[in-house]
């Protein structure tokens, strides 16, 4: 699955057997929810196909649900203004055969199908412990019970594979424990469960197998012990560990870099001093070459002429006496 130049999911495949719980973990942005969206038809894969039980699934959510895959969402997607019972009945739409005319005419067949759906919905509410709140609006339920109701709606479609996207997000420890027991009960009904979760304790206590998704690719898959011991998984979450202590080579590189930085500062200081010295010398030469008397060029020239004229008469006078 690509978004422009970004490949979000690449060549990811899973085998989830009936009655098995498989966990999908990975850092934020690893492509986990995108993988779920590709499976359930919310995204159309740019490459490859999605197959379930040997059948290629079309990228249409209602057809995927009809094929036997149901899901919950990371953010709760209930119908807030509908009752608890009505929310579960919505999940039965792919398992009923009544159409438009049957609904309009409300004949015997419609009433029979409606009664059967309501009975099944009540069984699911009993299963999750919300039968006594069947007529409550979904928006008035506590957060943990809203999560349970979303699971019941998914189960109403009678799936063979249930996808749970962070089912314990935002829950307190008691609600998390109740969700864990609910997932075990679902597994006991023979339904395969594939879940995304960031609560590692919840995942490793619950799942038969765990797969790690990193940068859109499956990094490793195995039991909880195998995954926890894999150094690549630790690196994906915490980064690569630093090996050893800095040696002589690293210390020499640091010293060389510091010396180069100091030399650069010294060169800049010397250049600044030389520039200041040149400017001072130029200013001094300019002041020395300027006239001290303050006379204008014309006055200076007149002074020079007077001096020359005063020196000439001595010679002329001598010539006159000789004659």
Output the pLDDT for position 79: 95
Comparing 84 with 278, which gets the higher pLDDT? 84
Task: Using pLDDT thresholds of 50, 70 and 90, give the confidence band for residue 152.
Answer: very high
pLDDT tens across 263-279, in order? Answer: 877 666 666 666 666 66
Task: Using pLDDT thresholds of 50, 70 and 90, give the confidence band for residue 255.
Answer: confident
**pLDDT averaged over every residue in the chain:** 83
Residue 227: count other Cβ atoms within 10 Å of its Cβ: 23
28-56: average pLDDT: 89
DSSP 53-80: TTEEPPS-HHHHHHHTEEE--SS----T
**Count of residues making up the chain:** 323
**Fold of the domain built from segment(s) 2-68+159-238:** Rossmann fold (3.40.50)
Domain boundaries in the chain?
2-68+159-238, 79-141
- Tokens at residue 317, please? 């006078």
Closest to 162 (Cα-Cα) out of 75, 72, 32: 72
Comparing 11 with 219, which gets the higher pLDDT? 219
pLDDT tens across 218-234, in order? Answer: 999 999 999 998 888 98
Output the pLDDT for position 171: 92
- Tokens at residue 289, please? 């070459």
pLDDT tens across 257-316, in order? Answer: 888 888 877 666 666 666 666 666 666 666 665 454 445 445 444 444 444 444 444 444
Comparing 86 with 241, which gets the higher pLDDT? 86
CA 151 to CA 156: how far, in whole Å? 9
Using DSSP, state whether 318 is helix, strand or coil: helix
186's torsion region: left (phi>0), alpha (psi -120 to 50) or beta? alpha
pLDDT tens across 46-73, in order? Answer: 888 888 888 898 889 999 999 999 999 9
CA 196 to CA 216: how far, in whole Å? 14
Which percentage of the chain shows pLDDT scores above 70? Answer: 79
Output the pLDDT for position 138: 96
Q: How far is residue 65 CA from its own chain's centroid?
A: 29
């Amino acid at each position: 699955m690509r978004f422009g130049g970004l490949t979000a999911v690449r060549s990811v495949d899973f085998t989830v057997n009936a009655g098995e719980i498989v966990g999908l973990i990975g850092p934020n942005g690893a492509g986990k929810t995108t993988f779920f969206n590709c499976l359930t038809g919310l995204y159309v894969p740019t490459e490859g196909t999605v197959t379930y039980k040997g059948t290629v699934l079309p990228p249409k959510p209602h057809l995927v649900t009809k094929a036997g895959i149901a899901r919950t969402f990371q953010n709760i997607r209930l119908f807030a203004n509908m009752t608890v019972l009505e929310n579960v009945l919505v999940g039965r739409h792919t398992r009923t055969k009544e159409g438009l005319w049957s609904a309009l005419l409300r004949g015997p067949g419609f009433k029979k199908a409606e009664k059967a759906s309501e009975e099944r919905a009540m069984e699911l509410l009993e299963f999750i412990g919300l039968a006594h709140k069947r007529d409550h609006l979904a928006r008035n339920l506590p957060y943990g019970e809203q999560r349970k109701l979303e699971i019941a709606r998914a189960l109403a479609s009678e799936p063979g594979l249930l996808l749970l996207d962070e089912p314990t997000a935002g829950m307190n420890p008691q609600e998390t424990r109740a969700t864990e027991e609910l997932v075990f009960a679902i597994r006991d009904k023979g339904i395969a469960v594939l879940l995304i979760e960031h609560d590692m304790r919840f995942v490793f206590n619950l799942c038969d197998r765990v797969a790690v998704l990193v940068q859109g690719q499956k990094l490793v898959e195995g039991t909880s012990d195998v995954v926890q011991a894999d150094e690549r998984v630790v690196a994906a979450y915490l980064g690569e560990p630093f090996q050893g202590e800095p040696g002589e080579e690293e210390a020499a590189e640091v010293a060389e870099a510091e010396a180069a930085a100091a030399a650069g500062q010294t060169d800049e200081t010397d250049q600044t001093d030389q520039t200041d010295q040149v400017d001072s010398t130029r200013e001094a030469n300019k002041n020395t070459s300027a006239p001290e008397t303050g006379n204008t060029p014309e006055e200076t020239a007149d002074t020079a002429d007077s001096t020359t004229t005063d020196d000439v008469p001595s010679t002329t006078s001598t010539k006159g006496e000789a004659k």
